[in-house]
Structure 1
Amino acid sequence: MKFSHISDTHLGQYRSKKEREDDTYNAFKQAIEISIKDKVDFVIFSGDIFDKAQPPNDAILHMMEQLNRLKENGIESYFVLGDHDQPKVEQNAIHWLYSSLTKVSHHLGDGNPVYFKNVLLVGFDYHSDGHDIESLQEEFKKIDLIAKEHDGHKIIVLHQGLNEAHSYAGQLNANDLPKNFTYYAIGDIHEKFGPKKYGFLGGPLAYPGSTEISSTEAIKETKKGFFEVDISSAEAIPKWIELDMRPRFEIKTSADELHAKIDEVISKIDEKHKPLVSLKITDVHDWKSIQQEIARLDEHILDRSTNLIQVSDSSVFLDRPNVIDDEMLRLSVDVLGSEQAANFAINELLPILVSGEIKEASQIIIDNFEKFKKEKKQ
């Protein structure tokens, strides 16, 4: 027996380009197709199926289509809600959607035990910090007693940050989890983590990460996928399944080497599948020549982020952790209400302003506005 553990699909998240919206849906579809092809017995979604609690119609249709495909192939599915797709008020229409899913999927979020053959499944929707987390830990104690008495596999499904997986987003420690489960299917962290084995837990713990880079994450060369978990024996054995993603390149180079680096990247590009590119350029002294090189690259790619870095601060910008970039971008999207505007502010305008190049910053704003006007006319 085996199952798929999929998480953080974020269907319906806003993208500045239609192709990126399609990438999100394609990643979800791939995960379902592979699960069907590999004949898994059931599928677990550990939260944030949708990007928001009021998803667009396209997102709902895509989800229903894929859940129906699972059902048509005799595959059950189970889900919990994350911090993104959990309704904040009872009047939200999404309650009706989740309650109407019973024919094609099963909501595990209340902590009540559910059984698939001889497999015990328990899930909890996302719990926020403070008293909510304390009540979750009390629920852990109750369900652990049930798991201890169960003779078969025992799977717990959560959407919470663990300090061991992400020091900036942790709400719990692994040691806070119930001890008697044979697999810990967790969502919330967008980077793959695990499978990890801890002596105080009854089985491996794993975050598959998101199935696509979200709109609030920096572009980076990272693999995306999910886990297929074999529970044919006494031990749960997770296997990583990588998805076929849009290519992405991280370029770190000096301004003097930029031309050669861009030539190198262009030579690798399949024009039918244009990549995403992250540019970090040091030793910037001539903005106009940089612009020309970037324009040349833009003809061959779908989207990019750009950091222009002066000599004095290059080590700071190049060595800072990706999680800081992600958090800055996420906050900017929240404030500006636009992924495109946030990318421009953080990745292009901020580095120039930090270095005190006011004239160059003004030119960047003018150029960006001209580009915006052209796109609006098309």
Structure 2
Amino acid sequence: MVRFAHIADIHLGGWKQQPLQDLNFQSFKKAVDVCINEKLDFVIIAGDLFDSAYPDIEILKKTFAEFKRFKDARLPCFIIAGSHDYSVSGKTFLDVLEKAGFCKNIENFEETENSIVINPTIHEGVALYGYPGKKSSLEINDLRKIKLNDSPGMFKILMLHTTIDKAKGTLPIDSIEVDMLPKADYYALGHLHIDFQYDNLVYPGPIFPNNFQELEDLKYGSFYIVDTSLNNSLRKVELKIKEVVPISIEITNATFATEKIISLLDKKDINDKIVLLRVSGELESGKNSDIKFSQIEEFAKQKNAYFLLRNTHDLKSKEFELEVEIKNPENIEEEAINLYSEKNPSDFNKLISQLMNTLQIEKQEDEKNETFEKRLLDESKKVLRF
């Protein structure tokens, strides 16, 4: 009988916004607290501890401190790389964690032309097998060839960071067929940010939502504690750090949008909460820049919101249809510009032709992309008189 934590998709350093990056780390810290207090036999992390193979130094320092707590509590931690912290070179900061004695990367396999044999890491009667996730799901073809170097009589855990066919739903992505996986007693999966179980194949969900949509859908992070002595062996641990307040509003007039959004925020209890502001609609009047998001964010701060995160993906400007009667096909660009300028008078219009000519310059042979982009930008600035 064994008790362990199944964690995946921590993505430390993933959020660009510092307040949300802080929450991500707090959620991980809370997971560490639970694991230590539960006096588990071990912890497994099924990929994507970090959001990149080379995380920021401050992220590393804080992460090492948490893993030291595992070590001080004599709580073994087993890990594999995910699609984000995987490196083709095979060298990542997961290796540094292992060298420091804070965890064990259990990736150990022998590859031949037709098969990949995974060797176990043995821990107190448990055989742990692992294969890393890779960029662009490149691990899936490999997984169709894997076999386990058997460990008779032991509880077998197979750690994978991938997509299984039973969990992908309608997503147009490649996946490994469950029937092609070797037999194991528990499949500790990562990669898909969902709470999902199919027989003994489990995705625990991320430790903290990783984007706007996930914050809307999941609200908070989670992981599982597995106790093989119980009939219902899985116990979900919810990592509720901050409450999420989703707000959706449809806008057609950008001029009055700021006032409308602030009025809606004023009616909500957003104290110390994450506000998810989703703005959608087709603008019949004004443009996106007429919405004063800085003013909206300042109002949210005054109401003591923890953080306001906005999404304007579905906010569109009304498409401008230009009907042009072409008299001379050779001058189609000039005629289109003249007609546009008549309907949309602006001092900028007289620069359109010059700017179009500038943007048509071609990259020279053997010219580096960086040099070409700088040359293009410099020429454009001359036209715009920057």
- TM-score > 0.5, shorter chain as reference: yes
Mapped to 2, the partners of 1:208 and 1:76 lie a distance apart of 19
How far did residue 171 of structure 1 move?
2.5
Question: Cα distance, 1:80 vs. partner?
Answer: 0.3
* Residues 293 and 214 of structure 1, relative CA distance in 2, 3 Å threshold: closer
RMSD: 3.5
2:192 equivalent to 1:184: no
Q: How far apart, CA to CA, are the structure 2 residues paired with 1:260 and 1:244?
A: 31
Paired amino acid for 1:212: F
Counterpart of 2:226 (choices 206, 225, 229) is 229
Structure with bigger helix share is 1
Does the CA contact (< 8 Å) of 1:98 and 1:107 recur in 2?
Answer: no
Give the direction of change, closer, same or farther, for the CA distance of 1:86–1:353 in structure 2 (3 Å limit). same
- In structure 2, the residue matched to 1:22 is 22
1:63 positional shift: 1.8
The answer to whether the aligner puts 1:142 opposite 2:148 as a matched pair is yes
State the 1:99 CA deviation.
4.4
Give unpaired runs (5+ residues) of structure 2.
109-117, 322-339, 347-386
Please state how far the C-alpha of 1:32 moved relative to its aligned partner. Answer: 0.6
Cα distance in structure 1, aligned partners of 2:251 and 2:92: 52
293 and 142 in structure 1: CA distance in 2 versus 1, 3 angstrom threshold = closer
Counterpart of 2:206 (choices 188, 207, 210) is 210
The 8 Å contact of residues 219 and 278 in structure 1, kept in 2 or not, is answered as: no
- Structure 1 alignment gaps of length 5 or more: 198-203, 308-346, 363-378
1:104 aligns with 2:108: no
Q: Is the 8 A contact 2:7 2:44 kept in 1?
A: yes
The answer (yes or no) to whether the contact 1:221–1:249 under 8 Å persists in 2 is no
Aligned length: 302
State the match for 1:124 in structure 2: 131
- Residue 374 of structure 2 is matched in structure 1 by none
Following superposition, the deviation at residue 217 of structure 1 comes to 5.3
Aligned partners of 1:13 and 1:215 also within 8 Å: no
Query: Is the Cα–Cα contact under 8 Å of residues 247 and 275 in structure 2 kept in the other structure?
Result: no
Q: Which residue of 2 aligns with 1:63?
A: 63
Kept after mapping to 1: 8 A contact 2:6/2:225: yes
CA gap of 1:286–1:121, structure 2 versus 1, over 3 A, is: same
Aligned to 2:144, the other structure's residue is in SS state: helix
Shift of 1:106: 0.9
Give, in whole Å, the separation in 2 of the partners of 1:93 and 1:253: 43
Instruction: Give the drift of 1:244.
Output: 1.4
Aligned partners of 1:195 and 1:205 also within 8 Å:
yes
Equivalent in the alignment of 2:5: 4
Amino acid at match of 1:276: V
In structure 2, relative to structure 1, the CA distance for the partners of 1:267 and 1:131 (3 Å cut) is: closer
The one-letter amino acid of 1:59's match is I
- For the pair 1:279 / 2:281, whether they are aligned, the reply is no
Secondary structure of 2:148's counterpart equals: helix
1:12-91 equivalences under 5 Å are: 12-15=13-16, 17-89=17-89
* d(CA) in 2 for partners of 1:71, 1:298: 43
Distance 2:267 2:106 in 1: 48
Q: C-alpha separation between the residues in 2 aligned to 1:19 and 1:69?
A: 24
Deviations 1:319-351 (A, max 9, x none): xxxxxxxxxxxxxxxxxxxxxxxxxxxx2xx73
Change (3 A) 1:83 1:268: same
Q: Which residue of 1 aligns with 2:155?
A: 153
The CA distance in 2 between the partners of 1:38 and 1:260, in whole Å, is: 48
TM-score in terms of structure 2 length? 0.67
TM-score after normalising by structure 1:
0.68
Distance 1:43 1:9 in 2: 14
Counterpart in the other structure of 1:244: 240
> Closer, same or farther in 2 for the Cα pair 1:58/1:293, shift >3 Å?
closer
Deviation string, structure 1 residues 273-325 (Cα, Å, up to 9, x no partner): 24131314446545589937994465224232233xxxxxxxxxxxxxxxxxx
Aligned-pair CA distance for 1:136: 3.0
Inter-CA distance 173–295: structure 2 relative to 1 (3 Å threshold)? farther
Whole-angstrom CA distance in 1 between matches of 2:121 and 2:63: 22
Write the letter of the residue equivalent to 2:309: R
Distance in 2 (alpha carbons) for counterparts of 1:216 and 1:296: 18
Query: Residues 304 and 3 (structure 1 numbering): CA distance in 2 closer, same or farther, change over 3 Å?
Result: same
Q: Is the 8 A contact 2:86 2:92 kept in 1?
A: no
| Residue number in structure 2 paired with 1:172 | 176
Measured at CA, do residues 177 and 293 of structure 1 come closer, stay the same or move farther in structure 2, by a change above 3 Å?
Answer: same
CA distance in 1, matches of 2:286, 2:317: 13
> Which of the two has higher C-alpha Rg?
2
Distance 1:182 1:214, change over 3 A: same
C-alpha distance in 1 between matches for 2:92 and 2:9: 21
Q: What's the counterpart of residue 335 of structure 2?
A: none
> 2:131 & 2:32 partners in 1: Cα distance?
23
